[in-house]
Amino acid sequence: MTSQWQQQPVGLVGLGLIGGSLGLDLVARGLEVRALVHRPATAERARQRGLASRISTDPDVLAGCGLLVLALPLDRLLEPPAELIAALPAGAVITDVGSVKAPVLRVWQGRVPRFVASHPMTGTAEAGVEAGQRDLFRGRPWVATPVADTDPAALAVVRELATALGADWLECAAADHDQAVALISHLPVLVSAALLQAADRGAAAAAGAVPALARALASSGFADTTRVGAGNPELGTLMARCNREAVLQGMAHYRSALEDLEQLVEQQRWREMEAELDRCRQLRPPFV
């Protein structure tokens, strides 16, 4: 890494999973990393973990940064505190890591001159100051959703950051990003959560030995299918809230797909059902 932006400190706002992982990777590469966190206890622990070169609860810590990553939860990203806005260094390239892009652009594009909406996709459910880890971004997609008035030089800086950390860079329209992640990331959370509720309700309705039996017999298939449904409730809610329209569209497609399968079972159309399940088997490899 030898580019212009690396001559100045890199700023991180937030040191959770994404911010902390960025900090570890950048510090390891010898960069000066300055981080703003919310609580003194977080600052203390983040210092112990070496998540950044300088860590503070005072927004002034960001002064002089040439590149700034807003590694905040979606809700805080969409309602940024005035003191954060005031502390953003003039002229800095600013990017975010939010998992929904159109609402982020509505809030940030135009508010700061060199904003680049981006989303490093990490697929890890951990959160908080303990979650950051080295090489979290290696081999993972890092999606940017530039708009017409995105500064091309700023976009290039964020791209350099992403590729320097081993991520696979992609650019697309924010609306396309949001529809895609609704289907492959936000919808699975709801589908998976509903399975936990159905197993609980179904077992309770059957009563007798069934509730204990269902829990004793559940194996890796159930564990895999319910993993994301039992993830961070705050994150799951934020994704649905910030990507509501696309999530509802995805749920409508899901409902119709499930009803089709249910009809095959109801009407005992086993040959068609086997063909449908065979089609599902073929659908999966391009996604995984």
Interacting residues with a copy of itself between 175 and 194 (CB under 8 A): 176-177, 179-185, 187-194
Nearer to a copy of itself, 59 or 254 (CB): 254
Q: What's the one-letter identity of residue 33?
A: V
Size of residue set near a copy of itself by CB under 8 A: 98
Residues 211 to 250 in contact with a copy of itself, rule: CB under 8 A: 213-231, 233-234, 236-237, 240-241, 244, 247-250
User: Does 127 sit near a copy of itself (CB under 8 A)?
Assistant: no
Please tell me the distance from the alpha carbon of residue 164 to that of residue 155, in angstroms, as a whole number: 14
Please tell me the distance from the alpha carbon of residue 162 to that of residue 156, in angstroms, as a whole number: 10
- Of 51-59, 109-117, 155-163, 202-210, the segment contacting a copy of itself by CB under 8 A is 202-210
Please tell me the distance from the alpha carbon of residue 98 to that of residue 108, in angstroms, as a whole number: 12
- Nearest CA to 177 out of 73, 109, 98, 123 is that of 98
Residue 267, both tokens: 């009407």
CB 18 within 8 A of CB 75: no
Nearer to a copy of itself, 152 or 286 (CB): 286
Residues 143 to 162 in contact with a copy of itself, rule: CB under 8 A: 143
- Of 26-34, 100-108, 149-157, 167-175, the segment contacting a copy of itself by CB under 8 A is 167-175
Phi, psi for residue 138 in degrees, rounded to 5? -60, 125
CB 10 within 8 A of CB 31: yes
Nearer to a copy of itself, 166 or 254 (CB): 254
Nearer to a copy of itself, 86 or 288 (CB): 288
Please tell me the distance from the alpha carbon of residue 138 to that of residue 17, in angstroms, as a whole number: 14
Nearer to a copy of itself, 65 or 121 (CB): 121
